[in-house]
Structure 1
């Protein structure tokens, strides 16, 4: 992405992308997709 290196560590690693296609966050594979962190980010 030209901003930060984030190697994929395992299946189900989550890269959070905004409406413009910019990478804004990363959630490790052990984080539940319905976790408060991810849900709050989506609802912003």
Structure 2
């Protein structure tokens, strides 16, 4: 497709993109890195 494969976001705006079930096992912190995101035209 020729699209960039990197996406950056800032807190707290990106919180809606991170599923509640995706977190670090030991620390229980949200997994803010390596979250798959789909970008689609409106």
When you count strand as a share of all residues, which structure comes out higher?
1
When you count helix as a share of all residues, which structure comes out higher?
1
With structure 1 as the length reference, what TM-score do the two structures score?
A: 0.26
Instruction: Tell which structure's C-alpha radius of gyration is larger.
Output: 2
With structure 2 as the length reference, what TM-score do the two structures score?
A: 0.26
